[in-house]
Amino acid sequence: MIAASQPRLRRNSQTLTSSWPTRISLVVVVLLLLLVIFGPLLTPHSPTAELGPPFARPSSAFPLGTDYAGEDVLSRVLVGGRSVILIGGIATVIGYLIGGVIGLVAGYQRGLTDSILMRGMDALLAFPPIIFLLLLATGFGNSLTALTLGIALIHVPGVARIVRTAALETSVRGYVEAALARGDRVRVILRREILPNIWGPIVADGGPRFTVSILLVAAVNFLGLGIAPPNADWALMISENRSGLTLNPLSVLVPAFMIAALTVSLNLLADQIARAHGSSVDVQAMRR
């Protein structure tokens, strides 16, 4: 029985790379990240210079054609992922840090602390995200900091709820009781005993959350309340060029495809990582 089971790490990496969708999404995510990092070094033209007629069809000079202002679509695609991924990523991470701490404390302490914290989260949850962001934009103008923090705040209640449910379930296990009986500090118990056991669902939930962040950034940019032209941004490009969809379809389709590829593969990957992590908690049940 024992001899048959393999060391855990090897088992994880095996499941992680054993299915084709996972392999593909892993490759796509890595490629997109490389693109975001090195893309600006590869641009054939300046992404913000008017170089030709608007909505020109692809040519040797402009492989993906030009956009509404006659800027090079390829160069703008190479540069335009940065804002989406950076703002989305930073916002998700901040949301996780705040929501995670609130959820851990609420789930572990229970009782009154739990009630107060979670009712606060319920109140936050009552705000429709887009309206919340639009309000922020009206208040602070096109501030990227405000946008990032706003998106982070949108994630806080959801993250807190998931982490709380998982912590609630884990904190009654025998190993946590053993730690309590040893008198381990709360910080130690959370770090040593609880966090490693709720990691799976948190990661699994991270994929969709990052996607939501990206879509929110894109939505705000599309509405023209985030990144302002002439800066290059995938979402902004869709918005700017939609009038020229028939003239140069690539000016809309390529940035749209980039967003889709990024979000779909991130989701697949996160699910797979969570599964390999041996999550015993049902994420789907917790999202409800």
- Using CB under 8 A, list all residues that contact another protein: 1-2, 4-5, 7-8, 173-175, 177-178, 180-184, 188, 192-193, 196-197, 199, 278, 280
Looking at the Cβ atoms of 98 and 195, the one nearer to another protein is: 195
Q: Which is nearer to another protein, 54 or 107 (CB)?
A: 107
Which lies closer to another protein via its Cβ, residue 123 or residue 188?
Answer: 188
For 162, residues 6+ apart whose C-beta sits below 8 A from its C-beta are 103, 201, 202, 205, 283, 286, 287
CB of 267 to another protein, least distance (A): 24
Q: Which is nearer to another protein, 21 or 196 (CB)?
A: 196
- For another protein, the closer of residues 50 and 184 by Cβ is 184
Query: Would you state the torsion angle of the CA atoms of residues 174, 177, 183, 185, taken in this order, to the nearest 10 degrees?
Result: 90
Q: How far is the CB of 192 from another protein (least distance, A)?
A: 7
Residue 120 CB, shortest distance to another protein, in Å, is 24
For another protein, the closer CB: 4 or 131: 4
Contact 200, 274 (CB under 8 A): yes
Task: Name the one residue in this structure whose structure tokens are 């985030």.
Answer: 226
Judged by beta carbon, residue 14 or residue 46, the one nearer another protein is: 14
Q: Provide the terminal-to-terminal Cα distance of the chain, rounded to the nearest Å.
A: 37
Give the shortest CB-275-to-another protein separation in angstroms.
Answer: 15
Structure tokens at 191: 């770090």
What lies within 8 Å, CB to CB, of 178 at 6+ separation is: none
Residue 66, strand partner residues: 72
Render 2-15 in DSSP notation, one character per residue.
Answer: TTTSPPHHHHHHHH
Q: C-beta of 197: minimal distance to another protein in Å?
A: 6
Measure the CA angle with vertex 79, ends 69 and 259; round to 5°: 95
Residues contacting residue 40 through CB under 8 Å, at least 6 positions apart: 78, 79, 82
Considering the complex, what minimum distance in angstroms separates the CB of residue 40 from another protein?
A: 40
- Least Å distance, CB 224 to another protein, is 47
Say how far residue 219 (Cα) sits from the centre of its chain: 14
∠ CA 202-91-33 to the nearest 5 degrees? 85
